Chain A
Amino acid sequence: GQQVMQIPQYQHVQEGEDFTTYCNSSTTLSNIQWYKQRPGGHPVFLIQLVKSGEVKKQKRLTFQFGEAKKNSSLHITATQTTDVGTYFCAALTNTGNQFYFGTGTSLTVIP
């Protein structure tokens, strides 16, 4: 079945350092979404990527969709304590309406 692998599982950074999480799929994707979930909270939508090679930026966050539409990344520049949480990718294939969530990357920012 469809699997979405996300690495790393955990990341501890000093405040001000950069952070990147990667999402990889075994099949070509229709689109990919990124969500942030704070401890004790629910996932909150960040962005959707649809086009091959697409790059989108939101302030300190940069999202990228691979050329083959099988992988994606989220990069945070100069992390802040407000960035703490788990970041999930959610992939949609060309063949259905089911979103496959990655296992998430838990980010801890040390002040």
Chain B
Amino acid sequence: DTGVSQDPRHKITKRGQNVTFRCDPISEHNRLYWYRQTLGQGPEFLTYFQNEAQLEKSRLLSDRFSAERPKGSFSTLEIQRTEQGDSAMYLCASSPSTPTYEQYFGPGTRLTVT
């Protein structure tokens, strides 16, 4: 399967703990996006990478969130000092460098903060 993969698929953590999620995009895609989705809402943009460069980050994103894509391949999203409001589905999507910008989404990581 050459689609976008995410790990873990589910994460339960206690408030105040740090969590890290991983995304492996489609190998030839140089664009990578992170989104957060809550029930009944559309995906909310978090950040965008082109290759290893983080080109855009949501202004609504707390400083507790950080993302990396060190070699322009896989990416990690870390949330420090988790809060109950961080509970959501975290989606990763990758996109080719052609003008279509079509995004291929991974299955997501569901985070529950207790």
Contacts and interface: CB of A to CB of B under 8 A. Distances in A.
Q: Do A and B bind each other?
A: yes
Interface of A: 1, 6, 31, 33, 35, 42-45, 48, 50, 88, 90, 92, 96-104
Contacts of B107: 42
A101 B44 contact: yes
A78 to B, nearest CB: 26
Contacts of B58: 98
A100 B105 CA distance: 15
A42 B44 contact: no
Interface of B: 33, 35, 40-45, 48, 50, 55-56, 58-59, 91, 93, 99-108
B56 A96 contact: yes
A13 to B, nearest CB: 20
Contacts of A6: 42
Nearest to B105: A42
Nearest to A99: B45
A98 B56 contact: yes
A1 B59 CA distance: 10
Contacts of B43: 43, 88, 90, 101
Contacts of A43: 43, 91, 93, 103, 105
Contacts of B50: 97
B48 A97 contact: yes
Given A98-B56, A98-B58, A42 B45 contact: no
B103 A42 contact: no
A99 B103 contact: yes
A97 B55 CA distance: 8
Contacts of B100: 48
A88 B107 CA distance: 17
Contacts of B41: 103-104
B42 A101 contact: yes
Contacts of A48: 100-102
